[in-house]
Structures are given as structure tokens and as C-alpha cells.
Amino acid sequence: MPVPVPVPVADFPASPDRPVPSPARPDCQFFLLPLRLTLPQQAQPPRPPIRLPAAAPPWPRLSPSRAPHMPHQAHDYLAIIEYKAGNQTSVRRALKHIGVNAVVTSDLVTLSKAAGIIFPGVGAAGQAMPVLRETGLGNIIKDLASRGRPLLGICLGCQIMLDHSDENDTETLGIFRGNNVRFDSGRLDEDGRPIRVPHIGWNTVRLSKETALWEGVGPDEQFYFVHSYTPVPEPEVVMGTTYHGGEFASVFGKEGTWALQFHPEKSGPPGLRLLANFYRYSVKAAEAD
């Protein structure tokens, strides 16, 4: 029987929508059997069972999720804000993957009963803000955040949590003071070459403040980024930075109100860990009310 040949591939159940890791990022080993020669029937040796290395998911498996469009009761689900800005379905699938009940909604009652709010998004601030104003969702988000409801902004949602965006010269929600600026294409990367704009791919986050959101996430974990504009919040709310021709704020906010420039739902196990931590924090906060 030929010896199994190790071939590098991922060792965890891929989250929905996670981009395929680069070959330069060796995750683990899977075992691929080479083709077996055809032998006469009577000469074939008994086929031993194939044993793959057992690996527990590197995020905590939570309670089984209920139907995402039917929250069971108040404070046992997360609400993903629907405002016609992209990746709500990707976030819901990632949450379902780890057993978190979630609903994509713009309904005030459903939002107000949720344990926590996720504010995702892709696209441009100039396209998203008119929808938030016309529907009243912008004021709802600000009100819930001001009353201590856990909030997680992702990518465009992260940027809209600041005062202003240079993208389309747009006034945004102002939950935190700051501006969003376009990457300077004159910046140089670590190899001395001009940086690529947009910033697309895997990168690390250097955490500068301890936070419950990062529990169980190592300092060398990589997250998936795709953006041309970057947040510039006030220094006192910066919680983590990433290097792309210079340091920029990739995590900011305060405990319970977080903004992430990267996509946790597309970042594999460390991103799923962040989402699980946000859910646990949200439920605990709701139970304490």
C-alpha cells in the first residue's frame, strides 16, 4: 500500500465565503492517497482504514442556531443591519457556522430586542449614508450604541462610525470622532515598493489595548482586508493597528462598541473567534440588564 503523501491544505472547516488561503500561508497538512495500482482480485491486500488527524475547531462551538429569520426570544440573537450595503449574508452564514442565531433586519423592534448589533458593509460611504438617513437606521444605530447595546462595525460599517469620510465627501454617523482618508499610494511597503491601493489580502493586527473581543486570538493571526480608505480616529480610541506602508487603525472603539476595518467573516478561525466573542459579550451584557 503506498504511503500517504502530505499535501498542505487547511486543517479547519472553512467558514463560508472565506477566500482560499495563499500557498505561502501553510495552515496544516491533509493526507492525499496516490492512485492505487490495480492488482488481480486475489492478490489485493486488505485495505486499511484511512485515519485523518483529528483537530477540534479553533473557535468555541456555541449552541445550535435557530432559524435565522425567526428569533426565539429577546436577547438570544444578534441583529445584522440591512441597509443595502453588501455583505450581510456573508456575516449571517459565518455566525450560523459557529452556532449563533442571527437575523438580517432593518426592523426597529427586532433591532431593539437583539443582544448585539452587527453593522457590516461593503461599498462607498456616499452610497450608504443616504439609505441610513432616509430609513432612520442611522439614528437607531447611534441611539442603541449610546444606551450601551453592543455594536460591531465591519469594514464600511467601521468607517461610517466616524464623523466624516473623504470618500464622496460624506458626513457619517459620528459615534466616534475621526475621518476616513484614502491610502497614500506614495507609501512604500516593507520591500521598498509602492503599496497597492486598494489594500487587499491578509495582514496582522497589533493590539494596543486589551479587550474581551480578542480573547483566545493570538498576536500572529492574520485577517482579510479589502479597502482603499482607512479610518483615522482619535488616538485614545485606537485599539489595534496594521501595517500597509505605515501603521493605520484597523481596530478602534471602546469595550462593547468595536469597529474592525477587516472582514472577520472572511478571516477563517481567528475571525470566527472574534464573532463568537462578540456574541458571548452581547448575551452576557443583555443578561446583566
Amino acid at 4: P
**Catalytic residue positions, numbered:** 155, 263, 265
Q: What is the dihedral of CA 197, 202, 206, 212, to 10 degrees?
A: 120
Confirm if 257 and 269 have CB atoms less than 8 A apart.
no
Chain position carrying cell 466616534: 176
Residue 72 cell numbers, joined:
426565539
Task: Measure Cα distances from 84 to 7, 21, 121 in Å.
Answer: 41, 28, 8
CB atoms within 10 A of CB 284: 12
Task: Measure Cα distances from 125 to 16, 112, 121 in Å.
Answer: 26, 24, 9
Confirm if 248 and 242 have CB atoms less than 8 A apart.
yes
Alpha-carbon span 197 to 258, nearest angstrom:
25
